[in-house]
Amino acid sequence: MARNRIQFGKGLSLSQFQERFGTEERCRQAVIDWRWPKGFVCPACGCCDHAIVGKRRLYLCHGCRRQTSVTAGTVFENSLLSLTKWFQAMWLITQSKNSISTLELSRQIGVKWDSAWRLRQKLAAVMAEVETKRTFKGRIEMDDAVLGGEKSEAEGGKRGRGGANKVPFVVAVETSEEGRPRRVLLHLVERHNGACIEAMAHEHFTAGTHVVSDGLGCFRAVTRAGCSHTPIVSALEPEQPEKIPALQWVNTMLGNLKTAIAGTHKAIRRPYVGRYFAEFQFRFNGRHDLPGLFTRLLAAAAGAEPRTYADIRLA
């Protein structure tokens, strides 16, 4: 059997990472290159004439006299962690197929769990920003799902999609002309109804997209966003729903997602589900180029707005 080209694709190896980003100076230079590819530009006045001053090597603008550090105005701003720690975390998160738990991340980069959690949440928020702007077209397989809800009725759980401990979301997989998965969307919804599905389609689907789903009635709402829709009623199919060929990849993706969560994170607190979904989505959608995946996260982090603890703390 031929090997899957993507599964066996080369990533950014540890030795390559250490060679490129193994010192604080190399990490600093990488941030500079991504922030100011054509040279320093003052964020206050746009002047390019500058000098580098002091032990911290701040950029002194000759136009407005403002001093700017390399990390000011980025997701790294005001962090007590070195850039090497940040870069190691970005490498571990992007090059691990099923991600890495926050506890293991803290052990690998040598920081306390609380520091690793804050770092992780800031990077996840950056990935969420990137994935929010992604649009889909062509043929899309779509299905509804919930995360959580393992409690029995005797323990206060609730059957079906409702329940305070359940997080409803939609999985959408864009497929190629050859029928292979291209990109995935994991979209949180308040509930599985027509209004939420229509809003999702307007936000992420290009007009003319063809959506294939199961027979759940709310999926018809994609037609109000200019998409065509083919429902497949599972009860009328001879196979089990997860084995229906037309929905093969969306069911595979849902299984991979839940396996990654159960095997790596064990559990995710409800307020942070969206960020972990964004991380999974960012990694899957960039799987064709693993070294580039690290680079894209670095570029996004260097261009992202600073985030305080209050910004990332959701509950």
Q: Structure tokens of 43?
A: 């964020």
pLDDT grade for 201, boundaries at 50, 70 and 90: very high
Q: What is the pLDDT of residue 155?
A: 45
What is the C-alpha R_g of the chain?
22
Return all residues near 136 (Cβ < 8 A) that are at least 6 apart.
172, 174, 183, 185, 204, 205, 206, 209
Model confidence pLDDT, tens digit, residues 232-283: 876 555 555 557 788 999 999 999 999 989 889 988 999 999 999 999 999 9
Q: What is the pLDDT of residue 152?
A: 41
- DSSP per residue, 265-306: IS---GGGHHHHHHHHHHHHHTTT-HHHHHHHHHHHHHHSPP
CATH number of 11-70: 2.20.25
Q: Per-domain residue ranges for the chain?
A: 11-70, 139-151+160-280
CB atoms within 10 A of CB 109: 20
Q: What is the mean pLDDT of the segment spanning 79-83?
A: 96
pLDDT of residue 97 exceeding 90, the answer is no
pLDDT grade for 165, boundaries at 50, 70 and 90: confident
pLDDT grade for 19, boundaries at 50, 70 and 90: very high
pLDDT of residue 100 exceeding 70, the answer is yes
CA distance 13 to 283: 16
Q: What is the mean pLDDT of the segment spanning 164-169?
A: 85
pLDDT of residue 136 exceeding 60, the answer is yes
Model confidence pLDDT, tens digit, residues 247-260: 999 999 999 999 98
Can you give the pTM of this predicted structure?
0.89
Topology given in CATH for the domain delimited by 139-151+160-280: Nucleotidyltransferase; domain 5 (3.30.420)
Model confidence pLDDT, tens digit, residues 202-214: 999 999 999 999 9
Model confidence pLDDT, tens digit, residues 24-57: 999 999 999 999 999 999 999 999 999 999 999 9
